[in-house]
Amino acid sequence: TSHTAIIAKSLRIPAVVGLEVATDNIRSGDRIIVDGSSGLVIVRPTDKVLKEYRKKSNLYTKEVKAIHIPKAVKVCTKDGKAIVVSGNIELPEEIPLIKKYGAEGIGLYRTEFIFLGRRDLPSEEEQYKAYSKVAKEVSPHSVIFRTIDIGGDKFLSQPEVPHEMSPFLGWRAIRFCLARPEVFKVQLKAILRASVGNNVKLMFPMISGIEELRQAKALLDKCKKELKKEGKKFDNNISVGAMIEVPSAALTADVLAKECDFF
């Protein structure tokens, strides 16, 4: 699923992607209709078509407003075990939306979007401010920060990332991070500092086996030692998880479970 589409949907922005000739046919000042539900972009619509779409837009707005969201409902199993339902987000701007729908915290915060669309790398301080703001906004509920997952449909401008034949299965996510520890450590230290409120968890993406998990945790421990020397506070007992999203991780989940706090 395109992350551009995910962001557009979560922010309720009509979007259509993959229009190769759009820039050839659309001129500055043109009136256009973007129909995300049908995948259509209508350039210079007639008054009749414009009227029809305004009617559709008004109807959709009314339907959204009419949706009843039961905020106080507790989710649990038949035997009474409580279940936490959290929301996944790309941007801090999505927090009010998941709160509106009754989410208890953030189940996955995709951190790579602070890295994209820029020529420089975000500093530790910039990342710390972004992550701590998110943690404070969802407190007392928890937030799980997934470390940078670059590759697939997401690429950095800097540093150079090889656009290999199959980026979804190659040099991405934790492999990129372990190959570029100077980039990874900056993010780890920022997340650790944001954990001072004790509602932050950390998750490593695309873990394929126990060695990658151990290497990532070793870097995390190194960051903890450096922060202690710098006199910066953090949650020393921060929960560490691994995403089970490749076959090898699924097959060795019992081994991984012994060295991480959650999946």
- In angstroms, the CA 119 to CA 129 distance is 20
Query: Worst-scoring range by mean pLDDT, 39-43, 46-50, 113-117, 132-136?
Result: 113-117
In the prediction, which pLDDT does 100 show? Answer: 84
Summarize the confidence of residues 213-237 as an average pLDDT. 98
Mean pLDDT over the full length of the chain: 88
Domain limits of the chain? 3-66, 87-257
Strands 40-43 and 32-35: what pairing? antiparallel
Q: Going by CATH, does the domain composed of 87-257 fall within 3.30.420.10?
A: no
Here the contacts of 122-125 (C-beta below 8 Å, separation 24 or greater) are 122/186, 123/186, 124/186, 124/187, 124/189, 124/190, 124/193, 125/190
Confidence class for position 190, pLDDT limits 50, 70, 90:
very high
In the prediction, which pLDDT does 1 show? Answer: 46
Q: pLDDT by residue (tens digit) across 86-126?
A: 999 988 888 988 888 889 999 999 998 888 877 889 999 99
Summarize the confidence of residues 64-84 as an average pLDDT. 81
pLDDT(62) > 70: yes
Summarize the confidence of residues 197-213 as an average pLDDT. 97
In the prediction, which pLDDT does 71 show? Answer: 64
Task: Say what the pTM is.
Answer: 0.79
What letter does residue 200 receive in the DSSP assignment? E
In the prediction, which pLDDT does 63 show? Answer: 86
* C-alpha of 16 from chain center: 21
pLDDT(158) > 60: no
- In angstroms, the CA 167 to CA 163 distance is 7
pLDDT(161) > 80: no
Q: pLDDT by residue (tens digit) across 135-148?
A: 999 999 999 999 99
Looking up tokens 């019992």 gives 254
Confidence class for position 221, pLDDT limits 50, 70, 90:
very high
Summarize the confidence of residues 239-243 as an average pLDDT. 98
In the prediction, which pLDDT does 70 show? Answer: 67
Query: Are 101 and 69 contacting, i.e. CB atoms less than 8 angstroms apart?
Result: yes
pLDDT(152) > 70: no
